[in-house]
Structure 1
Amino acid sequence: MISATLALADAYVREGFGTREFFNQTTVHPLGLAVLGVLGLATCLVHRRYLLLPLLALACVVPQGQRIVIAGLDFNFVRLLLLVGIARVVAFSEWTHIRPKALDRIVVAWTLIGAIGYVLQVGEFSAVIYRLGLGFDILGMYFMCRVAFRDWRDVDIAVTGFAVMACFSFFFFMVEKLTGRNPFSIMGGVPEFTGMREGKLRTQGPFVHAILAGCFWALLLPIVAAKVLSKRRSQRMLGLFGSLAILSIVLFCASSTPLIVLGCNGLGAIIYRYRRHMRLIRWTTGLGLLALHLYMKQPVWHLIARIDVVGGSTGWHRYKLIQSAIDNFHEWWLCGIPSTAHWGYFMFDVTNQYVLEGVRAGIVAVIAFVWVLVYAFKHVGETWPTVRRNDYLCLLSWAFGVSIFAHVNVFLAVSISHSAQSLLALLFVLAAIASMAPDPVAQPLGEWLRPRRMRLLRARVAAARASMERASSRDPLGTA
C-alpha cells in the first residue's frame, strides 16, 4: 500500500495532473501529425522574426498528449518542433546576434541547479533522462524566443500572434462550453467530456487542465491588452478583440486561480500610473504583509485558504502545502525529497511551483528560481524608462512586468513544469524582457570567438544600440 502511494506521488511530481495516461506511450493522431508537419515546414521557411509563431500555434491547437516515444525517450509535439527550430537556428547561425544579459545566465543556472539536485536525489539514470528533457524544453523555448527578438518590432509580431491565437481559440472554448464536449479530444491527450465542478463546466481546450488553460491566457492578457495603445487602428482593434477573447476563455474555465490572475493584472494596470514610485510601493507592500503576519493568529500565507472565487476551490490544500514544506524543511532542503505523500492528506499533489522546485532539487533550486523572477523585474525597471516617449512601448514593457507579477502569484497555486504551454508563456515573457533590456556594451555571442575585433565590435554595438533607442523613442514600429 505504501509503495503504491509513493509510486502515485512520484507520478504526480514527475508528470503532473492530466498527463499520466499518455506518459511513456506513443499517441499520434493523423490530424495532429499533419499540423506538426505544416508547422515544422513553416519553422524552416519563415523569416527569423516569425520563428516563434509556429511554436505558439502548435501549443494552442495540439494537446500535449500527442507524443512519440523512442527507446524510452518521450518527444511531445512541442519538443519535436523545438528540435526543428533549433536545427534551423544552428544551421543559419541565427543565434550569433544575442547579447548576453544577466537574466540569460540566471535562467541557465536555474535549469542546471534543478537538474543536478534532482539527479543527486533520485540517483538513477532515468532521472538524467527526465531532467535532460525538461532542461531542453526550458532552454530551447527560452533561446528560441531570444533568437526571434532583436527589436521591438519582433516582440510586437509575437504579441500580435498571441492576440490572433486568442481569437482563434475562443471559438473552440465556446463550442466546448455550449456542448460539454472538447473538440480537441479527437487527437487524444484531453478528455472527450468537459469536467464539471459545483454545477459549472470547466473548459480546458488542448490544455491538460482547466486551471492551466485559464492561467495561460490570463497571464498573457496584459501583453495583448497593451496593443490598444498601438498607433494603427487595426492593431488597436486586434488588441481589443484579443483581450475580450481571453476574458471569455478565462470565464469559461470556471476556476478561481485564473480569476485571481485577472485581479493581479488589474492591480498592475492601476499601478502603471504610479510606476515612478515603485520603490515606495514595494516597501509599503512588504511591510504591510509583515504587519499582517504579526497581527494574524495564522501565518500570512493562510490567506490563501480563504480564497474561493467560483466555489469548490482548494485554497486550504495550497495553504497546507506551504505550511508542510516549512514544517518539513529538514527533509528536502539539501537535494529535495522523493515523495511528499507522508506530509498529510493529498500532499503528494504539489500544486505550488516554489515548493515543487524545493521538492525536486532542494533550497538552492528555489533560490535560483526566485532569482530569475527578481532579475526579470529588474530588467523591466531598466527598460520602460528608455521607451517612455512612446506610449505603446512604455505600456508594453510595463505589461511584461505585470505578467511576471501575475506569475509570481499564480506559482503559489499552480505548478507549471509539466505543461509545455505554461512553460512557453513564462519563457516568452522572460526572453522578451531580456531581449529588450538596455545593455549597450554587451558583446554578441557569435563574436566571442573573435577576440581581436572586440574593441571595434563593442563600439559598433554601442552605437547601434544608441541609434535603436533613439529610433524606438520616435516610432519603432513604423506606425506613425
Structure 2
Amino acid sequence: MNIRVMPENFGQGEWVGNTTLHPIGVLVLGISILAILAFNRDKVLQPFFLLLCFISPAQRIVVAGADFNFFRLAILTLFIRVLMKGENKFFVVQPFDVLFFIYTVVYSLIYAYSSGSLGDPIAKGVELILLYFCVRSVARTTPDVIKVFRFLSLLSIPVCCFFIVEAITGRNFFSVLGGVPEFTKIREGRLRCQGPFPHPIIAGCFWAILFPVFLSMYIQFKQKKYLLACVCAFFIVVTTASSTTLLALLSAPFFMSLYLVRKHIKLLFYSGLACLVCLHMVMSAPVWHLLSRIGAVGGSTSHFRYMLIDKFISHSHEWFLLGTNSTAHWFFGAQDLTNQFVLVGVRSGFLGLFLFVCLLWLFYKKIYFIVRVSQYKVFSWGVFSAMSVSCVSFLGVSYFGQAVYLFNFLFSIVVCMLLHSVYVRKKENDKALLNKGALL
C-alpha cells in the first residue's frame, strides 16, 4: 500500500518554531497589548479578536524553543491583567468549568504521550485553559458577551472587503505577514480565499460560526448593522469555496428556525437519532456513507471524509486506550484528520473523545436552560446555533488556527450567560414577591 508522504510540520505550518515578525504585525500586537491592559473590563476581549481577524498565525516570537504566536502573547497579557486587577475574584467554579478543565488536561496529556512530544500539546492545553479562565473572569454577564459579538460584527465589514478584493485580484494582501500564500489557491477553477487565516476552510468556519449569532442579534435587537454583518459573513464564507464551510453556513438558518419549536427540541433530536439508526440498519453501506454523497462545490473530498470515519471505527483498537501517533496506514492520505471527533479520538483515545462529547452535551443542556430563563432568548439561541454549525463543520474539518479560539470561546461564555440569567431571574422573582407583599 502506498503511503502519502506529508510535508514536514504538516498541520502546523512551516513557520512553527521560527521567529516571524513584520512591522505591521508588531504594531497591531503592541496596540492590542496596551488596549488589553487599559480598556475597561467589558471591552478587554476586543483587542484579542482584532488580532484573530487581521493577524496571521505565522507572526510569532520563539525564545529558547518556546513558541509564542501573537494570539498566545495576547492571552498571556489577558491573564496578567486579570490577576493585576483582581478580576479573578469573581470567578466562581461551576461544574462546566471542572469538566472543561478535566477534558483539556486529559486531551493534552494523552496527546503528549501518543505523539511523543511534550511541549506543544501541553502549551496548547495551558493556552486554552488560560483563555477560558480570562473570559470567565471578565465577561460576567450576557451584555458583556453581546459586546464581544457586536465588535466582531463591526470587524466583519473590513474583513469582507479584504476577502472580496482577494476574490477579484487573486492576491492575498495578508501574505506580507507570512503564513499565507501571496497568490490565492485555485481548485476546480474556483479561487479559495483565506485572508489572514491559515486555510480557506478555517476562514469559512470562523465566519460560518458567527453568522447565526449575527442573525440572532438582528432578530433580538432589530438593528440593521447586524443584518449587514450577516451579509458580510455570508460573502466571506462563499469566497472560501469549500463544501464544508458552505454546508455549515447553510445549516445555520435551519438551526435558527428550530427556535420556533424549541419546546420540542428533545423530541426532534431523538427522532433524528432514531432515523439515523433505522437508515443504518436498512442501508447496504453504513449510515456515515451518506457523507460521500455531499458536495457543494467542485473538487469536494466528501468520499475522503467518509473513508476517514469508516477507518477510524474499524481501527478503534489502535487508538481506543491512549490514542495513536500514526494513521498513515489506514488509507492513502489518512494523516490528514479532517474530522474533529476523529482527531480527538486519535490524539486522546476513547476517554478524551468521551469527555469531548460530554462537554458538548453539557453545553447544549446549559444553553437550552438559558433560552428558557434569559431575557435574551433569541441571542442565546444564536449561540446554540453557532455551536451546532461547529458540529456540522466537524464532519469535514478539524479546527486549528483562529477557529480553535472562537470555538473554545463559545464554551467559556455559556457559564457567564447562565450565571447572569439565573441572577436576573432570581432578582425579578424577589421583586415580584416584594410587590405581592406590598399589595397584601
TM-score, normalised via structure 1 length: 0.86
1:358 to 345, 349, 352: 345
Aligned to 1:180: 170
State the AA in 1 paired with 2:239. Answer: F
3-state SS of paired residue (1:201)? strand
Structure-2 residue corresponding to 1:205: 195
Give 1:3 deviation, angstroms: 11
Name the counterpart of 2:418. 437
Among 184, 206, 218, which residue is 1:194 paired with?
A: 184
Verify the 8 A CA contact 1:10 1:339 in the aligned structure 2.
Answer: no
| Amino acid across the alignment from 2:203 | A
Structure 2 residue 382 is matched with structure 1 residue 399: yes
Q: Distance in 2 between matches of 1:2 and 1:39?
A: 48
Which residue is 1:271 aligned to?
258
Q: Which amino acid is the alignment partner of residue 418 of structure 2? A: A
Could you tell me how far apart the structure 1 residues matched to 2:89 and 2:8 are? 40
The answer for the alignment partner of 2:129 in structure 1 is: 139
Residues 51-450 of structure 1 aligned to structure 2 (within 5 Å): 51-123=44-116, 127-231=117-221, 236-387=223-374, 390=375, 393-416=376-399, 418-419=400-401, 421-438=402-419
Call closer, same or farther: CA 1:465–1:45 in 2, change over 3 Å: farther
Task: Mark the CA change 1:106 to 1:363 in structure 2 (over 3 Å): closer, same or farther.
Answer: same
Q: Distance in 2 between matches of 1:306 and 1:281?
A: 24
Distance 2:424 2:86 in 1: 20
AA aligned to 1:166 is S
Tell me what 1:23 maps to. 16
Match of residue 436 from structure 2: none
* Distance of 1:437 and 1:269 partners within structure 2: 20
Write the letter of the residue equivalent to 2:234.
L
Q: How has the CA–CA distance of structure 1 residues 238 and 50 changed in structure 2, closer, same or farther, with 3 Å as cutoff?
A: same
Tell me, yes or no, if the aligned pair for 1:9 and 1:341 is still in contact at 8 Å.
Answer: no
Separation in 1 of the partners of 2:272 and 2:184? Answer: 39
Contact conserved, 2:141 with 2:420, CA < 8 A, in 1? Answer: no
Sequence identity percentage = 35
Amino acid at match of 1:467: K
What is the CA distance between 1:282 and its match in structure 2? Answer: 1.1
Which piece of structure 1 moves more, 25-34 or 261-270? 261-270
**Aligned-pair distance for 1:137?**
2.5
Contact 2:366-2:414 within 8 A present in 1 as well = yes
Work out the CA distance in 2 between the residues paired with 1:470 and 1:155: 25
1:182–1:193 contact (8 Å) kept in structure 2: yes
Partner-residue secondary structure (3-state), 1:21: coil
2:36 to 40, 43, 58: 43
Amino acid at match of 1:424: Y
Give the secondary structure class of the aligned counterpart of 1:75. strand
The runs of 5 or more residues in structure 1 that have no matched partner are 441-461, 472-480
Shift of 1:463: 7.1
Name 1:466's counterpart in structure 2. 426
After superposition, what is the alpha-carbon deviation per residue over 1:203-223, rounded to whole angstroms, capped at 9, x for unaligned?
A: 000001111101110011111
**Conserved in 2, the CA contact under 8 Å of 1:386 and 1:469?**
no
Asked whether the 8 Å contact 1:162–1:224 carries over to 2, the reply is: no
1:302-359 Cα deviation digits (max 9, x unpaired) = 1111111011111111111111111111111111111111111001111111111121
TM-score normalised by length of structure 2: 0.94
Q: Distance in 1 between matches of 2:185 and 2:141?
A: 42
Which residue identity does 2:274 align to in structure 1? Answer: L
How many residues align? The count is 431
2: CA distance, partners of 1:58 / 1:215: 17
Looking at structure 2, the residues matched to 196 and 173 of structure 1 have their Cα atoms a distance apart, in angstroms, of 15
Q: Give the partner amino acid of 1:174.
A: I
Q: Quick one: distance in 1 between partners of 2:365 and 2:251?
A: 19
